[in-house]
Amino acid sequence: MTIDRKIPPRIKLPVEFELRLPECRSFSLSNGVQVYALDMGSEDVLMLNWVFYAGNHFEKQNTIAPAVNYLLKNGTSTRTAYQIEESVDFYGAYLNRACYNETAELVLHTLSRHVGELLPVVADILTDAVFPEEEIKIYAQNAIQKLKIGLQKSDFVAGRIIDAKLFGKEHPYGKYSNIEDYEAIARPQLLSFYNQYYKNGHCVIFVAGKLPPDLEEQLEKHFGGLPLKPHTTVAIPEKKIQPATEKVEHIMNDPNGVQASIRIGRNFPNRHHPDFIPMLVLNNVLGGFFGSRLMANIREEKGYTYGIYSYLLNHIQESGLMISTEAGRDVMNATIEEVFKELERLQNELIDKEELDITRNYMIGSILGDLDGPFQVIGRWKNLILNGLTEEFFYKSLETIKTIKAEELKKIAEKYFVKDDFYQLTVI
C-alpha cells in the first residue's frame, strides 16, 4: 500500500483512545507483606518503594514522624550516614524518603542489575537505624532555620493556616510544626516510633521497571523474615475533624508586603464518595489546568495574577477543594470577588459543549502521560491501593470523564459551590 504524503493523517483526540491500566501482579512475603510488581520497560532500571503506615497520623508528639523518616538514612550500628550514601552512590543509585499524613516511605531508584547489592543496605536501615545524637541536632537546627525562613513568606503561612481551618489544628491534616516542636525532639521518642512503626510496622512494597528474574527471592531473603506486618491489617487512628468557625480571615504577616497569598477552600468527601469523580471534571473546568475559567478570567483577562489553580486535596480519609493564588495587594479583594463569580456561574449556567470537550481531552491526555512508563503506572496502582480502591475506580473515572453531562456538573456545582461553605484566607 502506497502512502499518499499529500493527505495528512487523521488527528485522533485523547477521548477516542481506549486506555488500559497495565496489569500489576502481587505476591506476599513470608511475613504477609504484600509486594505489587510491574514488569514494564526495556531499560535496565528499577524503582522499589517501601511504604509504611508511619505518617503523622500515628505520632504522639508533633514532628516525630517526619523526623524519624528523614533520619532513617543517617546511620546504623555498622554504617555512618556517609557510608550509607557512599554505598548507594557507588552503584549510581538514589535512595530517598518522604513522610505524609498516614504513610511514610523509602524509595530506591537503581539499575536492575545492582538491586542485589542495594537491598541489604535498605534492610539495614529498616532494622538497625540508631539516630545518632549529632545527626538529630543537625536535623533540628536545619528544620528550625527552614521554618523561620518559611514563616517570612506569605504562601507558606497561608498553606499552614488554611489546612488548620479546614481540619482543625489537632488533626493530622491540619496541624503544623513550631520551633518548640523541633527543640523538643529527643532520641528516645525517635527510637520508640521507629521500633513500632518501621521495625515492627505495617508495610507494603511497590516495585516497577525491568524486574530481575530472582526479585521475589531477593525480597523474601532480605525482608520476608522481618517482623513486619501486612498493610491490610493496619488500623489508622480515627481523628475527628474540627473545622474553624470563623470562615474569613486576613493575616498581616509582612506590613511592607506587596503580594497577598489567597486560599479559598472547603471540606470535601474522599475518593469513595460518588461525587468525587464528577468533581474532578468540574474542578478542571474551574481551575484545574491552564485553560480553565479561573485562569482565563483572573490571569488572562484581568491580569491580577501569574497563575491561579483549584485542586482536590490528596488525602486518604477526607479531601478538600482548594483554590490557590498569589495576587497584588491592591487587587486582593477583586481577585476573591472574581473567584466567587466563577463559582456562581457554574451553579447557574450549563458548561457549553466545546469547553467540556476541551476539558475531557485535557484530562484523558494527562492520564495518557501518566501511563507512559513503569514508574508512572506503578504510581497509579499505588494511589489506588493505598486508598483502598481497585482498578474499577480507574475505569469508572475514564467513563465519567468521557460521558458526564453538563447538567450533572451543574448539580454538583449547586451542591458544593455555595459561597458560605468556603473558607477565605488572605496573607500579606
Among 186, 210, 233, give the residue marking a domain's end.
Answer: 233
pLDDT tens, position by position, 28-68: 999 999 999 999 988 999 999 999 999 999 999 999 999 99
- In this structure, the answer to whether residues 212 and 264 fall within a common structural domain is no
Rounded to an integer, the average pLDDT of 255-279 is 95
DSSP annotation string for 173-202: TT----HHHHHT--HHHHHHHHIIIIITSE
Among 233, 257, 273, give the residue marking a domain's end.
Answer: 233
- CATH of residue 375's domain is 3.30.830.10
pLDDT of residue 3: 77
Could you tell me the pLDDT band of residue 144, with boundaries at 50, 70 and 90?
very high
- On whether the CB atoms of residues 100 and 386 are closer than 8 A, the answer is no
39-48, 76-85, 168-177, 231-240: least confidently modelled range: 231-240
DSSP designation for 113? G
> 412: domain range?
248-427
**CA-closest candidate to residue 424, choices 345, 340, 313, 318:** 340
pLDDT tens, position by position, 222-264: 999 999 999 999 988 888 899 999 999 999 999 989 999 999 9
Rounded to an integer, the average pLDDT of 85-98 is 95
Q: Is residue 16 in a domain?
A: no
Q: Kindly tell me the sign of the dihedral angle through the C-alpha atoms of 167, 325, 290, 340.
A: positive
pLDDT of residue 419: 96
- In this structure, the answer to whether residues 257 and 215 fall within a common structural domain is no
7-21, 111-125, 150-164, 367-381: least confidently modelled range: 7-21
Q: Is 92 left (phi over 0), alpha (psi -120 to 50) or beta?
A: left
Among 188, 204, 233, give the residue marking a domain's end.
Answer: 233
Q: Is residue 242 in a domain?
A: no
Q: How many distinct structural domains can be found in the chain?
A: 2
Rounded to an integer, the average pLDDT of 129-158 is 96
